[in-house]
Amino acid sequence: MVNFLIITHGEFGAYLVEAAEEIVGKQGEGVRVVSISPRLSVDEITKRTRSLVDELYHEREGLVVITDMVGGTPTNVALPLVRDLKNISIVSGVNLYMLIAGFSRRKTGDRLDVVAAMLRDGQRSIQDVGQKLLSHVHSARKD
C-alpha cells in the first residue's frame, strides 16, 4: 500500500482529506497531514514532518508526499527530508480530484501508478467549466 503525507498551508490538507474520504471512504493507516501555520517555527514544522516521514516511509512501497504549491514552505520543508530516500514522489499542486485518484488506487497500485493517476486526474479536473457551458448554450441557440 502506498502511504501519503499531505503538507499544506493552514488546514487545507486536512479538509481535502476529509472531503476525499467522504467520497471514496476512510483511508485509515498510511495517510497523515501536516498543517503549516505561521504560529509554528520552521524548526517545529520540520520536526513534525520528519517524524511523519519516519512513520510512513517504507522503502518497498515508497511514500508520496503531496504539497499545495511548488516553492512554498510545505515543499521546501519536505525536499531535504526525503531527497536521499528511495521510492519517493513529491507531488505539488494538490486538488480534491487528485487526492481522490490517489486514495482510489493506493491499496492496489504501486507508487508510480498512483502518482501517474493523480497527475492525470488532477490536471484533467482543471477546466474552464463556464467556457464549456457557455459554448454549449451558444451552440444550442444557433440551432
d(CA 130, CA 5): 33
- CA-to-CA distance for 5 and 95, rounded, in angstroms? 14
pLDDT digits (tens, 9 = 90+) for 108-117: 999 999 999 9
pLDDT in tens, 11-51: 999 999 999 999 999 998 999 999 999 999 999 999 999 99
Hey, which residues does 34 pair with through a beta bridge? 7
Grid coordinates standing for 44?
517545529
Q: Which domains does the chain have, with CATH numbers?
A: 3-142 (3.40.50.510)
